[in-house]
Amino acid sequence: MRWLQNSFSCNVSFSSETSSRSRYNDCHRSPATPPIIALSSSRTIPRIVRGGTLKSSFATISTIFTYPMEYITLHTGALMPVVGLGTWQAAPAEVGPAVRAALLEHGYRHLDCASVYHNEPEIGLALRDVFSRMKRQDVFITSKLWITAHQPDRVVAACKKTLHDLQLEYLDLYLMHWGLAAVERDGDDDPRGSDNRLLRESISLRQTWEAMQALTRLGLVRSVGVANFTSPMLIDLLSYAAIRPAVNQIELHPYLQQSRLVEFCQSENIAVTAYSPLGSPGSLTRADQPVVLQDPVISGIAAAHGKTPAQVLLRWAIQRQTIAIPKTIRPERLAANIAIFDFTLSATERSALAGLERRHRYVDPWEWWGIPYFD
């Protein structure tokens, strides 16, 4: 896993179009490969070849902006932009305009999707439009296998459904969304037993991972990874994985830093994506939850840099060499959340942020599935 910096130009046309949640989601209330850099697939010593400036392939040219971006090199050799657009709780009617604006106007080159967000068809419509103006290979797209599709013979079908919905031929990254399996029952993505707990299914992570690996051989996905994996789950997975996970996507922000898990993943050449990097303010259900965006230490650091608290949180994430995927559907926040490459947090500031650790999870399955997943 290596970190690369890059600026690339985009020709942006102002004439371009701009600007159901499930029970699971309800419960949660409670260039990808810029051609200027080519890498070998060597796990430890990527060969970096520098070339010229990437020109994107928009049909109409009216203005040229330069968007800075940084990339993490996955063990597969793929380059993953360190900022991506999250799409959980982006309503179907709102997600399309946000995706178009993010990719065509604001320089995003990375989308984080999931079948359980119930908005992949709307994202697919936006992507069909976007990829008539820019190249598919310039955007890194992640999606996730839901827990009711862990049975090996359902994995390929689930991946193909996501590809169909997103109108793509391949995914850059496909993640096992959670490290547990639930029964498939009439398409219900949140099956419950009489005790209201999740109805688990007896499928090992190994069975599912082997089916995930097969997706790469079928050419449906470029890299496979996991989400919400703890270190014991990863250690077990690594004991049999023929293809190692490229990424572990976990909740990370100053109130839940998981520094030891981050370091463990990075030492194993598994890149770490920070989900809910802003503390998932759209998911807050209880008045007693701390709001990381309102933390006075973060506000103070933001004021010192002339930045917003959200930008400090995202800068903190990428200075930890993690990948941040903030979700927004608002144009002004799309712009702000990617404008984080023009300042640096000092060691003193990072130390102050480290002191904010509270081990507070905003996304905790105990609250909706009744499973002590992280205990």
Question: Which residue do the tokens 């599912």 mark?
Answer: 208
> Considering beta carbons, is residue 131 or 373 the nearer one to ligand NAP?
373
> Considering beta carbons, is residue 6 or 280 the nearer one to ligand NAP?
280
Residue pair 82/72 in contact (Cβ under 8 Å)? The answer is yes
Per rule CB under 6 A, count of chain residues that contact ligand NAP: 31
Q: How far apart are CA 21 and CA 42, in angstroms?
A: 42
CA-CA distances (angstroms) from residue 45 to 1, 40, 189, 223, 270?
Answer: 9, 8, 42, 19, 15
Position 75 contacts ligand NAP (CB under 6 A): no
Q: Which of 16, 162, 228, 257 binds ligand NAP (CB under 6 A)?
A: 228
Distance of closest approach, residue 194 Cβ to ligand NAP, in angstroms: 26
Site for ligand NAP in 6-45 (CB under 6 A): none
266-297 burial, b if ≥16 CB within 10 A, otherwise e?
Answer: bebbbbbbbbbbbbbebbeeeeebeebbebee
Is residue 170 annotated as a catalytic residue, yes or no?
A: no
Q: Choosing from 24, 67, 108, 117, which is the catalytic residue?
A: 117
- From 249, 239, 242, select the one nearest 214 (Cα to Cα): 242
Residue pair 168/130 in contact (Cβ under 8 Å)? The answer is no
Distance of closest approach, residue 275 Cβ to ligand NAP, in angstroms: 3
Distance of closest approach, residue 287 Cβ to ligand NAP, in angstroms: 17
Site for ligand NAP in 260-289 (CB under 6 A): 275-283
CA-CA distances (angstroms) from residue 290 to 107, 245, 264, 373?
Answer: 32, 32, 27, 21
Position 326 contacts ligand NAP (CB under 6 A): yes
Q: Which of 249, 257, 258, 322 binds ligand NAP (CB under 6 A)?
A: 249
Interacting span for ligand NAP (CB under 6 A) from 7-15, 43-51, 182-190, 322-330: 322-330
- From 141, 135, 168, select the one nearest 56 (Cα to Cα): 135
The residues that touch ligand NAP, with contacts defined as CB under 6 A, are 86-89, 112, 177, 227-228, 249, 275-283, 293, 308, 310, 325-330, 333, 336-337, 363
The catalytic site residues sit at 117
